[in-house]
């Protein structure tokens, strides 16, 4: 606590010393006094004008501030919705990616099993296409039962 009091005391002493030095400078320098006096007069007039404008246009200023606040709220809400959509979409993409990876792993295992199966047989079935087709009496005759339809 005493360290904080010492710092506070030091700041107060420095502030007072600066004020005294500034006052001495202003008292001794006429040009500085004149410039300070003119600046203070301008600040006073500008403050009066600002007060007058705010007083005369109070309702318009309040309405403008409300409109600006509403617009800002809409922008923030829109951005919030956009961020929410982005987060949901990225979660869906993550889920789809995991499904895709799982499918690729399963496909890899299937190809691996197929490779093992084919290498275990020693050779592929290389019979001609005609041997693989059904025999003549096994073919569908195309009898659809449409002969009873009146034409």
Q: What's this model's pTM, rounded to 2 decimal places?
A: 0.40
Measured between alpha carbons, how far is 96 from 88 in angstroms, rounded to an integer?
12
* Domain boundaries along the sequence of the chain: 11-56
Q: Helices 30-56 and 58-121 meet at what angle, rounded to 10?
A: 80
Segment 74-91, tens digit of pLDDT: 999 999 999 999 999 999
Residues of the chain with pLDDT under 50: 151
Measured between alpha carbons, how far is 25 from 7 in angstroms, rounded to an integer?
27
Structure tokens at 79: 């951005």
């Amino acid at each position: 606590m005493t360290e904080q009091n010492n710092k506070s005391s030091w700041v107060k002493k420095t502030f007072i010393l600066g004020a005294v030095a500034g006052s001495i400078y202003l008292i001794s320098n006429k040009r500085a006094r004149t410039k300070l006096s003119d600046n203070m007069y301008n600040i006073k007039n500008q403050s009066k004008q600002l007060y007058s404008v705010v007083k005369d246009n109070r309702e318009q200023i309040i309405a403008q501030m409300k409109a600006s606040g509403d617009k800002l709220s809409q922008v923030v809400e829109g951005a919030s919705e956009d961020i929410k959509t982005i987060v949901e979409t990225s979660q869906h993409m993550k889920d789809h990616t995991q499904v895709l990876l799982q499918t690729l792993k399963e496909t890899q295992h299937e190809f691996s099993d197929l490779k093992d199966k084919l290498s275990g047989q020693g050779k592929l079935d290389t019979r001609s296409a005609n041997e693989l087709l059904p025999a003549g009496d096994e073919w569908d005759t195309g009898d659809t039962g449409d002969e009873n339809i009146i034409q």
